[in-house]
Chain A
Amino acid sequence: SQTIHQWPATLVQPVGSPLSLECTVEGTSNPNLYWYRQAAGRGLQLLFYSVGIGQISSEVPQNLSASRPQDRQFILSSKKLLLSDSGFYLCAWSPRGDQPQHFGDGTRLSIL
C-alpha cells in the first residue's frame, strides 16, 4: 500500500534562518505531489505542485521554493524565513490530477 511521510512534525525557527521540509511517498511511482499551507482555523492554500521530477509549478508568489530531486521526494525550502511563513505545512500526493489526494501528517512551523 502507499504511504506518505512528512518530517519534522514540529519546527521552531528564528527569523532569517533557512528551511527544508521533506516529504516522501512509498508504494507508487510518478505521483503528483503537492505542498499546501494552512493558517489556523482556515482552509488549505496550494503552494506548489509537481507532475514529475524537476517539474514544479508555483501557485503563490512567496518566500518559499520547492524541488523534486527524485520521483517520490518533494522538498519545501526557504533561504530566509519570515514571520509570515509560520503555519501548518502539508504534503500530499495523488496518482493523477483528477484523483483524491492523500495527505501527510503535516509540519507545524513556528517562526520566532
Chain B
Amino acid sequence: SQQGEEDPQALSIQEGENATMNCSYKTSINNLQWYRQNSGRGLVHLILIRSNEREKHSGRLRVTLDTSKKSSSLLITASRAADTASYFCAPMDSSYKLIFGSGTRLLVRP
C-alpha cells in the first residue's frame, strides 16, 4: 500500500498539553498534506509541506518531513478542547493524487 499510515490510531490528552501525531509512507512524494476532520464533516486542509522542506509552522501547528525516512509528524501545541477531531496525513504522489491513511483520533479533555 502507498497510503500514509498515522500513529497512534487514537490519542487522549489534557487541554494545554501538546499532541504529536506521526505518519509514514512508502512512495516518492510531491508534497505531504495534513487534514483535520470533525465527526461527520468534510476534511479541512491544515498545512502542506513540500518534498524539499524539512519543517513548517502555522499558528499552533508544526509539521516536520523526513524524506529519507519517509515520515512526517504533526505537533499541535497548547491543545484545546476544540482540537478534538481526526487528523489525516496525505502524501501526494508523483501523479498528484493524495493517499490518505486511517487517521489519528485526537481527544482533548477539558
A interface residues, Cβ below 8 angstroms from B? 6, 36, 41-46, 49, 59, 90, 92, 97-106, 108
Number of A-B contacts (CB under 8 A): 49
| B3 adjacent to A105 (CB under 8 Å) | no
**How many residues on chain B are close to A (CB under 8 Å)?**
21
CB closest chain-A residue, reference B42: A103
| B92 adjacent to A98 (CB under 8 Å) | yes
CB distance from B90 to the nearest CB of A (A): 8
Is B88 at the interface (CB under 8 A from chain A)? Answer: yes
**Which of A59, A97, A100 has the largest count of B CB atoms less than 10 A from its CB?**
A100
| B41 adjacent to A101 (CB under 8 Å) | no
Is B31 at the interface (CB under 8 A from chain A)? Answer: yes
CB distance from B108 to the nearest CB of A (A): 19
Task: Enumerate chain B residues within 8 angstroms of A100, measured Cβ to Cβ.
Answer: 33, 45, 48
